[in-house]
């Protein structure tokens, strides 16, 4: 009931009085790492009870910002409960992530549980002998439907661990933190160990780059100076920082690449060797730029469906193309404005997104809105057919962001841009309000001074090909001409085969232990038309045994239009398939500035990406 009442107050814009929270006693967690070398964390939760009887506890099943049910409770190895006098209480599991504690007339209970923590990513827990990375959702058991109460987190650090860091406010003692509510608790990672920490200030607010795994390679102080510049440019874009408490960039150098946004922090995984050249630092900063843009777009300016969170079920929204796609667009635009990317480097990044979009048949099947809504069942669960059915709201949304920006500028004759839409959206919908997809589209029309409703419907609500030409004409851009795959011309001896474009089958393959297996069959390719299937083993072409290199070379030499016979093994049975080779698409989708760029177009580009460098 408390959660329902708070949501009602939250919806109508009435803040919950701080006195209500102050009167309630905190749930207190103690995190210990006595067996960190084996990736275990022991948690003790002291829970004060306001009413006697049965208490139901739960663990979240997903992490906000990562849209997949992860089943974190699977990592609970053991769970025990006792009352305030130390007497054992019955703890009964109700379902995958809920427990019932028979508390009787006890005024407080203590729940002790062990967690296995070895998921090296940005959303889970990762504990080793030297450090711990702790995320909220996979760590804290709490009382069902009782989120508006304070929480305390105490860490007991092993010998040799120097410190802990968290955006949670300190609670008066070393390694002790306090959260005003469950949402803040889940949204606040904790890192413990001996990380590299370098700080700086922006507008008087402290910021920290906290790095694990840098070894002797990573130069943290230099990286922090670059982070500061990115933050300052984004501050200028939005007008001001939306927070006054310290902000943390948690940087885990695992060799992988990923990021997750929080209100007062970000969590990243990257490669320590990025620091050794400018290209590597630019790549790393593009991830910083993306996650920091979420401080506004995603965490404070959000779809109505993403807050307050329902932690035990999916939270569906059609608007992730706004949250993630437009953020993916601006992560590179703002790096260009900050001077890290030249115009040509930025166009290279945008070209990569366009090429990925154009080479994804799924864009003709799934709209960006549907891609957002189905993130829970498709985006994080890709299979061999995803290329044919799935359209990424990240890369596809980034391309849509470019087209939206250009269209708003074009319709307003350059008076306004997508920048203005986001700033007005933040003013109108941030905080307690949220927006629907329709409201965001209506706001874009309002800013542009023209009805964009039908144009948006075709762009994000219906599957289909994107029309790039209006945007290219506005900025003075063009795609490079594709290179021809054949050098035809005069041949002195008659009767020789005619020149043809190189032949192409279109299937992706892998070679393992001498077997050449099909891994993907995109639609509208010769392989798809022939009926080739994923996991087919290709043995021969036209009676000739082939490996991966030979298959590609022979197809190229036979030429587009050639008919071939493929001998394949499918589940142990031999099968012959007939295919007509096609011509591999040669478009690079590489953008460049036109040679006849007008002065108006040049001014538009510089307003868009900053001065030419």
**Strand 151-156, strand 176-179: pairing:** antiparallel
May I ask the CATH class of domain 320-478?
mainly alpha
CB 482 within 8 A of CB 562: no
Domains 320-478 and 503-583 share a fold: no
Mean pLDDT of 600-609: 97
Over residues 407-439, the pLDDT tens digits come to 999 999 999 999 999 999 999 999 888 999 999
User: Once rounded to an integer, what is the mean pLDDT over residues 51-58?
Assistant: 93
Is the separation of the CB atoms in 281 and 274 below 8 Å? yes
Mean pLDDT, the chain, as a whole number?
93
- At 484, is the pLDDT very low, low, confident or very high (cuts 50, 70, 90)? low
* Distance, CA of 342 to CA of 338 (rounded, Å): 10
Residue in the structure block whose two tokens are 């910002």:
65
b/e burial code for range 387-402 (CB count within 10 A of at least 16 → b): bbbbbbbbbbbbbbbb
The CA dihedral of 237, 239, 245, 249, to the nearest 10 degrees, is: 0
For the chain, the distance separating the N- and C-terminal CA atoms, rounded to the nearest angstrom, is 59
Q: Quick one: pLDDT band at residue 40, thresholds 50, 70, 90?
A: very high
Q: Which two tokens stand for residue 500?
A: 């043809």
Q: Which helix (H) or strand (E) holds 369?
A: helix 368-373
From the list 64, 59, 34, 35, the residue with the least C-alpha distance to 45 is 59
Tens-digit pLDDT profile for residues 236-256: 999 999 999 999 999 999 999
pLDDT range class, residue 490, cuts 50, 70, 90: low
How much of the chain exceeds pLDDT 90, in percent? 88
- Biggest CA–CA distance in the chain, Å, is 102
419 phi-psi bin (left φ>0, alpha ψ -120 to 50, beta other): alpha
Question: Virtual CA dihedral for 208, 214, 218, 221, nearest 10 degrees?
Answer: 20
Q: How far apart are CA 277 and CA 358, in angstroms?
A: 31
Residues 6+ apart with CB under 8 A from 303: 317, 318, 319, 320, 322, 323, 434, 435, 436, 437
What is the per-residue pLDDT across 316-343, written as a single tens digit (0 to 9) for each? 999 999 999 999 999 999 999 999 999 9
H or E stretch covering 370: helix 368-373
What local confidence, expressed as pLDDT, does residue 462 receive? 98
Q: Dump strand ranges (E) for 413-562.
A: 477-479, 503-504, 508-512, 515-520, 537-541, 544-545
Between CA 39 and CA 127 the distance in angstroms is 5
Please count the residues of the chain: 613
User: What pLDDT is stored for residue 8 in this prediction?
Assistant: 42
The predicted-structure confidence for 135-144, as pLDDT tens digits, reads as follows 999 999 999 9
pLDDT recorded at residue 497: 73
Q: Which CATH class is domain 503-583?
A: mainly beta
Classify domain 2-193 at the CATH class level: mainly beta
- Under the banding of pLDDT at 50, 70 and 90, the label for residue 488 is low
SS3 content of the chain, % helix, strand, coil (to 5): 35, 25, 40
Q: What angle do CA 351, 354, 357 make, to 5 degrees?
A: 150
| pLDDT (average), residues 435-451 | 98
Q: Indicate whether 10 pLDDT > 80.
A: no
Average pLDDT estimate for 532-536: 96
What is d(CA 142, CA 151) in angstroms, rounded to the nearest whole number?
10
99-146 pLDDT per residue, tens? 999 999 999 999 999 999 999 999 999 999 999 999 999 999 999 999
How does 415-441 read in b/e, with b if 16+ C-beta sit within 10 Å? ebbbbbbbbebbeebbeeebbebebbb
Ranges of each domain in the chain: 2-193, 217-293, 320-478, 503-583
Query: What pLDDT is stored for residue 346 in this prediction?
Result: 97
**Predicted structure pTM score:** 0.92
pLDDT of 17 reads 42
């Amino acid at each position: 009931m408390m959660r329902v009442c708070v949501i009602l107050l939250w919806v109508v814009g009435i803040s919950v009085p701080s006195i209500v929270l102050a009167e309630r006693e905190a749930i207190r967690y103690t995190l210990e790492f006595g067996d960190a070398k084996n990736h275990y964390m022991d948690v003790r939760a002291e829970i004060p009870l306001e009413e006697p009887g049965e208490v139901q506890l739960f663990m979240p099943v997903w992490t906000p910002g990562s849209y997949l049910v992860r089943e974190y409770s699977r990592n609970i190895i053991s769970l025990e409960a006792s009352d305030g006098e130390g007497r054992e209480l019955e703890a009964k599991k109700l379902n995958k992530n809920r427990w019932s504690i028979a508390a009787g007339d006890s005024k407080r209970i203590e729940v002790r549980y062990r967690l296995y923590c070895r998921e090296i990513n940005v959303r889970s827990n990762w504990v080793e002998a030297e450090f711990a990375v702790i995320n909220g959702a996979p760590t804290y058991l709490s009382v069902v439907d009782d989120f508006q109460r304070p929480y305390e987190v105490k860490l007991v650090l092993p010998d040799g661990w120097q410190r802990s860091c968290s955006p949670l406010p300190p609670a008066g003692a070393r390694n002790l933190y306090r959260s005003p509510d469950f949402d803040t608790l889940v949204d606040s990672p904790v890192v413990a160990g001996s990380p590299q920490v370098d700080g700086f200030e922006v507008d008087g607010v402290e910021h920290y780059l906290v790095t694990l795994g840098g070894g002797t390679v990573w130069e943290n102080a230099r990286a922090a100076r670059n982070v500061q510049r990115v933050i300052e440019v984004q501050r200028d874009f939005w007008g001001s920082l939306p927070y006054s408490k310290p902000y943390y960039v948690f940087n885990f150098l695992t060799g992988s690449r990923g990021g997750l946004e929080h209100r007062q922090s970000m969590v990243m995984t990257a490669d320590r060797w990025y620091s050794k050249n400018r290209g590597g630092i630019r790549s790393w900063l593009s991830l910083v730029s993306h996650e920091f843009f979420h401080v506004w777009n995603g965490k404070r300016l959000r779809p109505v469906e993403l807050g307050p969170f329902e932690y035990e079920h999916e939270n569906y929204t059609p608007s992730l193309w706004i949250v993630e796609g437009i953020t993916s667009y601006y992560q590179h635009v703002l790096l260009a404005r900050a001077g890290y990317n030249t115009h040509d480097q930025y166009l290279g990044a945008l070209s990569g997104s366009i090429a990925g979009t154009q080479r994804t048949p799924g864009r003709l099947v799934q709209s960006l809105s549907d891609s957002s809504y189905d993130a829970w069942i498709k985006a994080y669960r890709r299979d061999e057919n995803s290329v044919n059915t799935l359209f990424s709201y990240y890369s596809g949304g980034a391309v849509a962001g470019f087209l939206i920006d250009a269209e708003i500028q074009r319709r307003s004759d350059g008076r306004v841009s997508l920048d203005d839409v986001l700033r007005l959206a933040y003013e109108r919908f941030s905080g307690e309000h949220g927006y629907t997809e329709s409201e965001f589209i209506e706001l874009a029309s309002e800013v542009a001074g023209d009805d964009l409703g039908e144009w948006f419907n075709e762009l994000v609500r219906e599957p289909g090909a994107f029309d790039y030409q209006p945007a290219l004409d506005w900025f003075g851009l063009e795609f490079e001409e594709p290179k021809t795959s054949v050098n035809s011309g005069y041949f002195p001896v008659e009767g020789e085969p005619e020149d043809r474009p190189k032949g192409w089958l279109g299937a992706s393959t892998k070679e393992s232990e001498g077997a050449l297996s099909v891994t993907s069959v995109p639609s509208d390719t010769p392989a798809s038309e022939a009926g080739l299937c994923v996991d087919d083993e290709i043995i021969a072409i036209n009676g000739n045994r082939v490996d991966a290199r030979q298959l590609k070379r022979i197809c190229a030499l036979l030429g587009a239009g050639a008919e071939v016979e493929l001998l394949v093994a499918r589940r142990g049975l031999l099968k012959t398939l007939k295919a007509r080779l096609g011509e591999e698409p040669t478009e690079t989708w590489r953008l460049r500035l036109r040679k006849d760029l007008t002065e108006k177009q040049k001014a538009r580009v510089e307003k868009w990406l900053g001065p030419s460098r």
